[in-house]
Amino acid sequence: ETDEVINRHIAKVRCRVEHVFGFIEMSMKGSICRAIGKARAKTNVTLTNLLYNICRFEQIKRLGLPSWA
């Protein structure tokens, strides 16, 4: 019984993370990072995350979804 509750919680978190990475890979072609140096790679990842957040914000506003806060 407690294992099912724990697994359900883990599955919820895993599902949300997988959807984020899936969106970044499929819609934004973000799985490829061609950069020389850590600073440029970090900038690439940061801008990809920022773009995802902007896309998600627009989707939340457009669909009128409730916020988490």
Does residue 30 form part of some domain? yes
Tens place of pLDDT per residue across the chain (69 aa):
699 999 999 999 999 899 998 888 888 776 777 889 999 999 998 999 999 999 999 999 999 888 765
What does the pLDDT read at residue 68? 66
Does residue 69 form part of some domain? no
Domain boundaries, position 15: 2-63
Does residue 6 form part of some domain? yes
pTM of the predicted model, to two decimals?
0.74
Q: For 68, which DSSP code?
A: -
**What's the domain count of the chain?**
1
3-state helix, strand, coil in the chain (%, to 5): 75, 0, 25
Residue pair 28/48 in contact (Cβ under 8 Å)? The answer is yes
Cα→Cα distances 18→12, 22, 43, 53, 62, Å: 10, 6, 22, 15, 23
